[in-house]
Structure 1
Amino acid sequence: MKDGFPDRAPRYQRNGTLESVLETLNAALAPGAGTLIQDGAQPDGPVGLIVGNPRSGTTLLLQWLGYNGYFSYPTNLISRFYAAPAAGALVQKMLCDPALRYKDELAEEIAAPDYRSDLGKTAGLLGANPFWYFWRRFFPSEPTNHIPPNRWPADKARRFAAEIASLEAALTRPFAMKALYLNWNIAELAGALPNALFFHVTREPVFAVQSLLEARRRFNGDAAAWWGMKPPQYAELLGKDPVEQAAATVRLTDLAIEDALDRAPARNVFRIRYETLCEKPETVFESLKSHLRNHFGYALPDAYSGPSRFDHTPDIRLSPEEIRRFEAEWALHDRAALQGAA
């Protein structure tokens, strides 16, 4: 499975041998995967879809939702089965569920995942995975991650929903995953998944922009090289300097998401600030518990038992000149500008 990052830094290069093995494995499993999927099925419970900008807390939110047992989620193991994820989920249960152990044949301890990540990637069998290979099976991503209405693959979207239903059934819990891949097609996703619950996570703008620039330097070795999803304005943004480009990307992405969520039913929307999740996760838990109970009839535990807080470092590392360019670019974009570009 190819991607758009041929110039990755060495530590982020793909393992070609692994890619070949995964392609062979998934090609072999895909024909039989249909036995686990009911055509036209919809998930019974809420489907958590995390939208927002990269470097704004989307990975932490997925970890928090999954590691505390509120939702099932795509693990590093399940992601290897991107053409047959329900089969991967059953393999995971066989390996990790104590109830399925038999005479210690598979007695190795599976390490519990932690909250560390490196540009969205985690360590360990049960670490949260962005699941991009799964998304790419259904939805085109060129030249941008916005799919025009006349190109929306309705048949594939129905299959997408049915496969999520199969994951929910295999894991016996509502499923959540990142959906940044289709930040700009929220209305279409809502149509394909009536039980979608869109988690829009946002971060203080200057830190979101700063972190995006630093991610570019780490991943590509150059802040001017693109990293992350491509908004509809991608071609226009390429002509800007890195700070202006990052600021416009973060601003326009969040505006597009907010515009779509403002049109969605309240039951399908849950907004989270990254800073609040870090500093007061129990407050987020109580709000989420109430939302899921009132709108989906889905019960979370009575008491919060997750981490009391997550470390985050609100240190500005941009230079005064970069701050000036960030503020100027940010001020250029408002809802009127967004509507004019649509």
Structure 2
Amino acid sequence: MLSRQAEARWPHVFILGAPRSGTSLFYELMTTQFAFSYFTNLAHRFYKTPLAATRLGQPFIADHQPSYQSDYGHISGWAAPNEGGWIWQRWLEDGPWTDEKKIAELPVDEIRSTLAGMSNLSSSPFINKNVMHSNRVRLLDALFPNCLFLEVQRDAKDTARSILRAQRRNKGPEAHADEWWSVRPSNAGGDTDIERACRQVIGVAEDIERDCAHVGADRRFVVDYAALCADPKGTLAEVARFLGTHHVPAVALQQNTLPAQFSLRPSKPLEASEEDYLEDMLQVKGIRVADQ
């Protein structure tokens, strides 16, 4: 199947953002409101052969019925959208920032044929959310020229608090040996979990902005999480217009109801001393990302 795949008809679309920033909700909205191809939980489960799993599974799994709920990024159901972490990990290491130089070490034809095949199977553009994409924008651009980036941004305090609570509850990915958790931006470091969370929120956003400017700032669209929750229909319409200007059709699906809004719950503040420390860390000098 891989050897038979023609080039993808449309540019691929990648969803970026810090952990706990609302990327999973946005991913599910994009895959249930528009006709996109994507890695399902089934494809993720058969990560060595995701294209064959998707082709063979099509007659046997029902279309995903959205509930717009996730468990630290996991959305239930065989047909539900999945980050495809195990698929990407066959080719790329999770964690560190990387750029286009990495492409010399990769099975480029296999990677391109896999994503093109996903798109070709459903005759629709391919979309994928994975927070690890946030620090490999330049590599993705080298692999998939003209690909597009949709970045979800959430209030920095709320995101940092959510990252902290996820780590303290042992949710999501396991921390690395140096206690770093999830995607590692260019400014990674810090002596406490609060400082690391703040560096992560700021660093991921700065890595994305810098690297998208490098490959072409016009190919990045920022989705404000609060606006998405308040007006999903309007926000998705803006995203569809952006994609359309880059020749990626966002064909509306009629079978899935779109809620008028989603409840936006600010994260519960930390203890007073930790809250002050978090505030300081988000503003402190010296944790900004250095130029690559």
Shorter-chain-normalised TM-score: which range? 0.7 to 0.9
| Local SS of the residue matching 1:251 | helix
Q: Does residue 54 in structure 1 map to residue 6 in structure 2? A: no
Q: Aligned partners of 2:128, 2:80: CA distance in 1, in Å?
A: 12
Show the counterpart of 2:244. Answer: 293
| Structure 1 counterpart of 2:265, one-letter code | T
Q: Any conservation in 2 of the 1:200–1:270 contact (CA below 8 Å)?
A: yes
Between 1 and 2, higher relative CO (CA 8 Å, sep ≥ 6) is seen in: 2
Q: Please report how far the alpha carbon of residue 270 of structure 1 lies from its aligned counterpart in structure 2 after TM superposition.
A: 1.4
Q: Any conservation in 2 of the 1:216–1:225 contact (CA below 8 Å)?
A: no
Q: Please report how far the alpha carbon of residue 173 of structure 1 lies from its aligned counterpart in structure 2 after TM superposition.
A: 1.3
Q: Aligned partners of 1:258, 1:329: CA distance in 2, in Å?
A: 20
207, 225, 228: which one pairs with 2:182? 228
Once the two structures are superposed, the pairs formed by residues 98-109 of structure 1 within 5 Å of their partners are none
After superposition, the Cα gap between the structure-2 partners of 1:48 and 1:151, relative to the gap in structure 1 and judged at 3 Å, is closer
Q: Any conservation in 1 of the 2:64–2:80 contact (CA below 8 Å)?
A: no
1:236-272 deviation digits (Å, cap 9, x = unpaired): 33xx111111111111111111111223334421110
- Aligned CA RMSD, in angstroms, stands at 2.8
| Local SS of the residue matching 2:13 | strand
| Local SS of the residue matching 2:60 | helix
Q: Aligned partners of 1:180, 1:45: CA distance in 2, in Å?
A: 22
Query: Which structure shows the higher helix fraction?
Result: 1
Q: Does residue 63 in structure 1 map to residue 28 in structure 2? A: yes
| Structure 1 counterpart of 2:39, one-letter code | P
The number of aligned residues is: 288
Q: Aligned partners of 2:245, 2:203: CA distance in 1, in Å?
A: 32
| Local SS of the residue matching 1:95 | coil
Q: Does residue 125 in structure 1 map to residue 87 in structure 2? A: no
Q: Aligned partners of 2:182, 2:245: CA distance in 1, in Å?
A: 35
Show the counterpart of 1:331. Answer: 283
Q: Please report how far the alpha carbon of residue 90 of structure 1 lies from its aligned counterpart in structure 2 after TM superposition.
A: 1.0
Show the counterpart of 1:245. Answer: 196
After superposition, the Cα gap between the structure-2 partners of 1:219 and 1:171, relative to the gap in structure 1 and judged at 3 Å, is farther
The TM-score normalised by the length of structure 1 is 0.76
257, 264, 276: which one pairs with 1:312? 264
| Local SS of the residue matching 2:107 | helix
63, 78, 87: which one pairs with 2:43? 78
Q: Aligned partners of 1:220, 1:281: CA distance in 2, in Å?
A: 27
Q: Aligned partners of 1:220, 1:55: CA distance in 2, in Å?
A: 11
| Structure 2 counterpart of 1:136, one-letter code | Q
Q: Please report how far the alpha carbon of residue 155 of structure 1 lies from its aligned counterpart in structure 2 after TM superposition.
A: 4.1
After superposition, the Cα gap between the structure-2 partners of 1:44 and 1:266, relative to the gap in structure 1 and judged at 3 Å, is farther
The TM-score normalised by the length of structure 2 is 0.87
Q: Please report how far the alpha carbon of residue 326 of structure 1 lies from its aligned counterpart in structure 2 after TM superposition.
A: 1.4
Q: Any conservation in 2 of the 1:51–1:179 contact (CA below 8 Å)?
A: yes
Show the counterpart of 1:215. Answer: 166
Q: Aligned partners of 1:294, 1:208: CA distance in 2, in Å?
A: 31
Show the counterpart of 2:7. Answer: 42
| Local SS of the residue matching 2:246 | helix
Range 297-306 or range 184-193, more displaced: 297-306
Q: Any conservation in 1 of the 2:162–2:267 contact (CA below 8 Å)?
A: no
For the pair shown, the structure with the greater C-alpha radius of gyration is: 1
Q: Aligned partners of 1:279, 1:89: CA distance in 2, in Å?
A: 34
Range 147-156 or range 200-209, more displaced: 147-156
1:115-158 deviation digits (Å, cap 9, x = unpaired): 111111121112221210111111123xx422365544454244
| Local SS of the residue matching 2:162 | helix
Q: Please report how far the alpha carbon of residue 214 of structure 1 lies from its aligned counterpart in structure 2 after TM superposition.
A: 0.9
Q: Does residue 189 in structure 1 map to residue 154 in structure 2? A: no
Q: Aligned partners of 2:183, 2:60: CA distance in 1, in Å?
A: 34
Q: Which 4+ residue blocks in structure 1 deviate beyond 6 angstroms?
A: 221-224
